[in-house]
Structure 1
């Protein structure tokens, strides 16, 4: 990927605004990542501020290196922090490998769970990936017990293609291919 392509596009849906990760997002981002409800299907435990700071820098850096990354998502009507949605290149060492394929991810603040924001946001992110990058496939991994995220993935065209082990836990691997 061309490392000069570092401009982060802003996206907008009916209810959501997607923006470049900024220092000003840190407090909201750290509060979300420290929430035990949110952590249940991510790391399994609340994340420290130090770890979240590194994650914020990683999310911003992905754009300059990969030409894709994560957006900080806010509710359009109120400006309230919703979460993060986007794509990663994580080199997780999984079998089958996902290296070189954008890995979709979404983590939303617990206040907005069940409101359809994730489905709406993932749809917008995938549409951007399909039309603004050369990638014809994206993947995601989800814990088997995370049925809300499985439904979000399936609503956005992802289908199960493998089961693997990640961090000593069974993990479901989903893929989404661009039609045509």
Structure 2
């Protein structure tokens, strides 16, 4: 690695069932498979993402860490070693009203075949514990499609409350916030 490039290691977090870690190139194939499933992308995108788009998403997740000091973790199921999703924080610089710039936005995605096991809540709680210890932002936000009831329930279980309704890229959205 050239000396001029920043060096940053994504912190690893471990829970009872999950390992939260930086993305690996081997995550690409299962992530592409997730983005091909309508049950996975229906609240996130009007269509599946291509391999190139998923790779770009993984690069964005990873690139947040050296720029902001926070970012996204890959979620690995400890019992199988399988990549099953992602969770973390970002400042996506969305063009949205009300503006979110500078406020860490939490997000999570989980493979449909492991949904309903409490993994999203487990991963989010680990990420929020890390955030409280290392980032301690005065406020966190998340953007959720109004029809994504499971994601809304998970956000509310983790202390998020709706504060605004918006339109993002032509789709309705709920903005939720969490105060420490």
TM class by shorter chain equals: over 0.9
Alpha-carbon separation, structure 2, partners of 1:4 and 1:131: 23
Structure 1 equivalent of residue 9 of structure 2? 7
CA shift, 1:5, in A, is: 7.5
Alpha-carbon separation, structure 2, partners of 1:130 and 1:177: 11
Point out 4+ residue stretches in structure 1 off by more than 6 angstroms. Answer: none
Structure 1 equivalent of residue 96 of structure 2? 94
2:66 to 64, 67, 77: 64
Structure 1 gaps of 5+ residues are none
Alpha-carbon separation, structure 1, partners of 2:173 and 2:7: 32
Structure 2 equivalent of residue 140 of structure 1? 142
CA shift, 1:96, in A, is: 1.1
After superposition, residues 1-180 of structure 1 pair within 5 angstroms as: 6-178=8-180
SS of corresponding position for 1:73: strand
Alpha-carbon contact 1:130-1:136 (below 8 Å) kept: no
SS of corresponding position for 2:102: coil
Alpha-carbon contact 1:139-1:175 (below 8 Å) kept: yes
Alpha-carbon separation, structure 2, partners of 1:44 and 1:84: 20
CA shift, 1:134, in A, is: 3.9
CA shift, 1:70, in A, is: 0.7
> Number of residue pairs matched?
176
Alpha-carbon contact 1:32-1:109 (below 8 Å) kept: yes
Alpha-carbon separation, structure 2, partners of 1:99 and 1:4: 24
Q: Structure 1 length as normaliser, TM-score?
A: 0.93
Cα deviation code 1:90-127 (max 9, x no counterpart): 11111111111111000100101111110111111111
Structure 2 gaps of 5+ residues are none
Alpha-carbon contact 1:140-1:173 (below 8 Å) kept: yes
Q: Structure 2 length as normaliser, TM-score?
A: 0.93
| RMSD value, Cα | 1.4
Cα deviation code 1:130-150 (max 9, x no counterpart): 111141211100011000000
